Amino acid sequence: MREVAVIGAGMTRFGKYLDKSMKALVREAVDKALTGAGVARQRIEAAVVGNAMAGLITGQECVRGQVVLREMGFGGIPIINTENACASSATAFHVGWLYVASGMYDVVLAVGMEKLYHQDKKRSFAAIGSAIDVELMQQIVAKANADAASKKASSENEKPSGAGESRSLFMDFYAQFARDHMKKYGTTREQFARIAVKNHRNGSLNPYAQYQEVYTLEDILNSPLVADPLTRLMCSPIGDGAAAVILCAGSIANQFTQKPVWVRTSLLASGRDEGHTTELVAKQAYDKAGIGPEDLDVIELHDASAPAELLLYEELGLCKPGEGGKLIDEGVTELTGRHPVNPSGGLIARGHPVGATGVAQICEIFWQLRGEAGKRQVANAKVGLTENAGGMVRGEFGALAIHIFSV
């Protein structure tokens, strides 16, 4: 396998763009990546485009990547579409990396894109909620309804949960994970909330972030309850946006830049019934890259909720099981800490246009390792990791991508 470098990155600010098309968002991100890399459009030999929800939100299926890239004048090259829940564009990057590493192509474009906002919010949340085993979920719902009926609950006193209607169904999963961690290890709501404080503060320094406000611990704890112990400011929002990166063979990287970012490893996996998938894939990634978690200078991970970030501290080996709360209390994951996590603001503040998230994480690591992250720059960052997961099947992520980069 050949060495692969990332030589350019570009993205839109994530946000609410009811008046912008997917084509316009992708054009902005791709143009920025091409310009930053100094790569002419004609040098792109293949493109891989990640998107998760367009079929359910806009009705566009089958040729999503071809539709947006043809608008920009890309034609004749292979254009591959990857749909893999929240890991759709991390998967696109993985396929692009394989193309270059295998020697098939020298210069490849990887894109992530999503438009989740819709006039009918139920449509957005229903789309996100489809990233599960639907048949199994129907059985779970039927059992829950039967249990409720057996308790003879008064319909006048019952309140609808709102899952899948006014919030993502996944927040209920994360809330349960959080409650389990609290019960087993004594983790507190305040520790989860401090993660949200950190990520919102980081997002305030990121011009691409959907939300750029700073919040206190009290603000986080007192925001509306979503699913105990999660409050609204502990959860990632829906959003629209696009991100793009250019990969090339290491042997020609110096034709474009004197600051290539090297792909040390790129892994893609799915969950397994035995559990512990993230820990196993992380160990494989460290082994392939020849490093350990202690060598990571900067990390972008899948904080769909604040508890999700804390659990990932442990699963990625940043600390022992049960010590995630201690890590945040000691400031280890702050911008100035030993292992800065989500300097972009993460999903919580940068936003989470599902299909764009994986490549957006890679954009952030690219800028961090090149010293181009502005006010949120991590000092002396040389090695970075992205972790992006999507979907849920029997309590484990359906898709998981881990990439390690270095300069």
Q: Would you name the residues annotated as active-site residues?
A: 86, 352
Please name which of 277, 250, 262, 332 lies closest in space to residue 299, comparing C-alpha atoms.
Answer: 332
Contact 402, 285 (CB under 8 A): yes
**DSSP summary character for residue 119:** S
| Secondary structure string (H, E, C) spanning 360-396 | HHHHHHHHHHCCCCHHHCCCCCCEEEEEEEEEEECCE
Give dist(CA 292, CA 290) in Å, integer: 7
Nearest CA to 117 out of 295, 244, 238 is that of 238
Q: What are phi and psi of 320, to 5 degrees?
A: -80, 160
Angle CA(17)–CA(213)–CA(219) in degrees, nearest 5?
Answer: 120
CA–CA distance from 219 to each of 33, 213, 407 (Å)?
37, 11, 38
* Token digits of residue 110: 């990887």
Q: 340, 333 in Cβ contact below 8 A? A: yes
Distances (CA, A) of 106 to 4, 33, 101, 250, 390: 9, 16, 9, 9, 29
Contact between 366 and 385 (Cβ < 8 Å): no
CA geometry: angle 315, 381, 197, nearest 5 deg: 60
Q: Residues with Cβ < 8 Å from 337, sequence gap 6 or more?
A: 330, 331
Question: How many helices and strands (H and E) does the chain possess?
Answer: 14, 11
Strand-pairing partners, residue 53, are: none
Q: What is the largest CA-CA distance in the chain?
A: 72
